[in-house]
Amino acid sequence: MIPLPDYPQGRELLRDKVVVVTAAAGTGIGSAVARRSLEEGARVVISDWHERRLAEKAESLAEYGEVHAFPCDVTDEEQVRGLIAAAVERFGRIDVLINNAGLGGSTSILDMTDEQWSRVLDVTLNGTFRMTRAALRQFVEQGGGGAVVNNASVIGWRAQADQSHYAAAKAAVMALTRCAAVDVAEHGIRVNAVSPSLAMHPFLAKVTSEELLADLTEREVSGRAAQPWEVANVMVFLASDYASYLTGEVISVSSQHA
């Protein structure tokens, strides 16, 4: 097993930028990228549908920098517009949107209901679309520039049982990323995505069987799952000026066997 590296120090990659992160109240990639953004010098707005957990997360992140919390359900267009408006009212602008909101589940397509299919796509794909559209409109109104970073998944490329809805949504997020990047390139706006394989955190361990986690870990050349902050590092890079010539790309954050 490849050992876990030391947690990296911030290098001010996002100094003075305003970053909005969705689904940041948990223990996974969203909260990790919010913390990394703060450590890289950004002012951060975190959002989630669960108000109590969101407030607790904002309190715990405050030691790393300036962070504000605004509740938002990405399936509600009014709340999506409200989140962007609240961030702009607080800081005068936004510079980065990180779309982390997503919903999974394990159901064979033989047993999958319309409701299960629609719910996963509404959060994972439509929510990403709504947030991206709102942020891009704000970037254009500000005069251009800005970056969107979407959270996709290797499951958008590779087959896995019982994941038809989630895989379809994540594959569509990749396509959305590429096409949106072309639409807004003339405004100096970049749209990219990361595609993680297995990022271990307490909630995932709680809702996933030990057998499945062992199987997924076995597919990793590194012999271990990624830590959420390892995925967050790549998202921060894509949000930063170091990625100024990258747009429309989906970066695999994975050590899975080809």
Residue 193 identity? A
Place of tokens 């087959």: 159
Name all domains of the chain by residue range, CATH numbers in brackets: 18-251 (3.40.50.720)
Question: What pLDDT score was predicted for residue 206?
Answer: 46
Nearest to 255 by CA among 233, 225, 232: 225
pLDDT number for residue 223: 72
Q: Classify the phi-psi angles of 172: left when phi > 0, otherwise alpha if psi is within -120 to 50, otherwise beta.
A: alpha
The two three-digit tokens of residue 130, written as one number? 């709504």
Is residue 183 exposed (0-12), middle (13-18) or buried (19+ Cβ within 10 Å)? exposed
Beta strand segments in the chain, E:
18-21, 43-46, 67-69, 96-99, 147-151, 190-196, 250-253
d(CA 165, CA 163): 6
Asked if 174 contacts 248 with a C-beta cutoff of 8 angstroms, the reply is no
Report the catalytic residues. 166
Instruction: Show pLDDT as tens, one digit a residue, over the chain (258 residues).
Output: 777 889 999 999 999 999 999 999 988 999 999 999 999 999 999 999 999 999 999 999 999 999 999 999 999 999 999 999 999 999 999 999 999 999 999 999 999 999 999 999 999 999 999 999 999 999 999 999 999 999 999 999 988 899 999 999 999 999 999 999 999 999 999 999 999 987 755 555 444 556 666 666 667 677 777 899 999 999 999 999 999 999 999 999 987 754
Q: Is 195 helix (H, G, I), strand (E, B) or coil?
A: strand
CB-CB contact of 226 with 199 (8 Å)? yes
What is the pLDDT, as a whole number, of residue 224? 77
pLDDT of amino acid 199: 74
The answer to whether 170 touches 152, Cβ cutoff 8 Å, is yes
The CA-atom distances, in angstroms, between 55 and each of 122, 129, 173 are 25, 25, 28
Q: Is 116 exposed, middle or buried (0-12, 13-18, 19+ CB in 10 A)?
A: middle
